[in-house]
Amino acid sequence: MCIVAATVDHGIRRRLVAVALFGLMLVRNGDSVAGGRHQSVAFVPCVATELLAWADVPTSCDDLIAKIQTTAATVEYPDQSLKVTQPTVYREGVNAYWISIMDPVHHMFVEYVRMTREDQESFMRKYLTALLDSRPQEAYRLWLAAHDYLFPINRSPYGRDPDLAEWQNTAAKVALEIIARDPERRARYFRMAVWHQSCLSGTLPDAVADDIKFAMRKPESDGMYWWSLRNLAILLIATGREDLLNGLDRHNARERHQQWRAWIEANQGRFTPSSAGSVWVIDPDKARDGGADFFPQMNVFPSLPTFEWEGPLPLIPGQLNQIAT
């Protein structure tokens, strides 16, 4: 196999492995018959592991995380002097640098979640925790690989792909679990969410608030329940009501939402974007206005996805939204 591996194109290698693994699955499931009896093949797991390693396919969540974190760019980062002398050329160079990383890591992530038989919640919990706990460049690579699963800007899960929507809902459930219990990870998660402008850009927050109100009337099995509860968590932070987020779970979600909803309705027309961060505050000089939007457009979004950035600057969020989703 090592001799073949040196001469086979990487893409072809993956296809060969897929065919080989399919054949092994047939054997393992008893589709190989000899003498009228199904045969058990003990070495199938060993061969499968070797085939995956040969194809450079991640064999576990930990392996996937490590491969993504260490993926190198295939183009050089632009010279910093261009930032002043030729800003357009500089920005194009930044995009090219990161896209050369994002394309392979996003493909790697998508292929892995399509093929894995791991428990979805366990996988997403480990992945998101690693993302939130990693150094900036490593965290950003994990972000690029899975941003449309973990931080999509849509009001609802992507309807065009049921499998993707299922993973997105799982990611939302896990994210809520983490940020409701862990203030430090909550702060890092919220920064990434607002940097990406997840459910917070333009007039989207009012629509999201209405989506949450509708979803809270549905059972937990509804496709929008966990998605909306995660969005509620983001809006609780953005409106300074982390007291309602602490310990938020499926048991108290509806009560907490009712408290928050009653509070924003009592202060409708009084919210104003803070000049100090990505939050809304109540203007004591404004009177309640039942015909006004709840949340005027935010003015301040972080320029970087992590608190302590180091290394090459990231993509612009608006451009990221158009890529690999």
Confidence of residue 137 (pLDDT cuts 50, 70, 90): very high
Q: Which residue has the higher pLDDT, 25 or 143?
A: 143
Q: How many domains does the chain have?
A: 1
What is the pLDDT at residue 187?
Answer: 96
- Quick check: is 50 in a domain? yes
What is the pLDDT at residue 159?
Answer: 58
Is the per-residue pLDDT at 301 higher than 50?
A: yes
Burial 193-204 (b: 16+ CB within 10 A, else e): bbbbbbbbbeeb
Q: Quote the CA–CA distance of 160 and 20 in Å, as a whole number.
A: 30
- Quick check: is 8 in a domain? yes
Q: Which residue has the higher pLDDT, 108 or 302?
A: 108
Question: Between the CA atoms of 52, 57, 61 and 63, what dihedral angle is there, to the nearest 10 degrees?
Answer: 90
CB atoms within 10 A of CB 68: 27
What is the pLDDT at residue 4?
Answer: 37
272, β-bridge pairs: 281
Tokens of 207: 């629509």
- Quick check: is 1 in a domain? yes
Which residues are CB-contacts of 29 (< 8 A; sequence separation ≥ 6)? none
- Quick check: is 155 in a domain? no
- Long-range contacts of 313-318, Cβ-Cβ distance < 8 Å, separation of 24 or more: 313/94, 314/94, 314/98, 314/140, 315/94, 315/95, 315/98, 315/99, 315/102, 316/91, 317/195, 317/196, 317/197, 318/197
What is the pLDDT at residue 80?
Answer: 87
Q: Which helix (H) or strand (E) holds 238?
A: helix 225-238
Is the per-residue pLDDT at 5 higher than 80?
A: no
Distances (CA, A) of 248 to 92, 154, 173, 180, 264: 42, 23, 11, 6, 18
- CA-based nearest residue to 53, from 95, 14, 103, 23: 14
What is the pLDDT at residue 75?
Answer: 95
Is the per-residue pLDDT at 136 higher than 90?
A: yes
- Quick check: is 232 in a domain? no
Mean pLDDT of 267-288: 94
Q: Quote the CA–CA distance of 116 and 300 in Å, as a whole number.
A: 39
Backbone Cα Rg of the chain: 23
Is the per-residue pLDDT at 11 higher than 70?
A: no
User: Are 196 and 138 in contact, with CB atoms under 8 Å apart?
Assistant: no
Domain range enclosing 21: 1-57
- Quick check: is 214 in a domain? no
User: Are 209 and 160 in contact, with CB atoms under 8 Å apart?
Assistant: no
Mean pLDDT of 99-117: 94
What is the pLDDT at residue 262?
Answer: 98
33, β-bridge pairs: 38
Distances (CA, A) of 10 to 4, 47, 111, 271, 324: 11, 19, 15, 54, 21
282, β-bridge pairs: 271
Q: Quote the CA–CA distance of 200 and 196 in Å, as a whole number.
A: 9
What is the pLDDT at residue 222?
Answer: 80
- Quick check: is 221 in a domain? no
Which amino acid belongs to residue 135? R
Q: Quote the CA–CA distance of 149 and 133 in Å, as a whole number.
A: 18
What is the pLDDT at residue 8?
Answer: 37
Confidence of residue 165 (pLDDT cuts 50, 70, 90): confident
Q: Is the dihedral of CA 318, 67, 76, 189 positive or negative?
A: positive
Q: What is the 3-state secondary structure (H, E, C) of 299-321?
A: CCCCCCCCCCCCCCCCCCHHHHC
- Quick check: is 325 in a domain? no
What is the pLDDT at residue 23?
Answer: 55
Is the per-residue pLDDT at 289 higher than 70?
A: yes
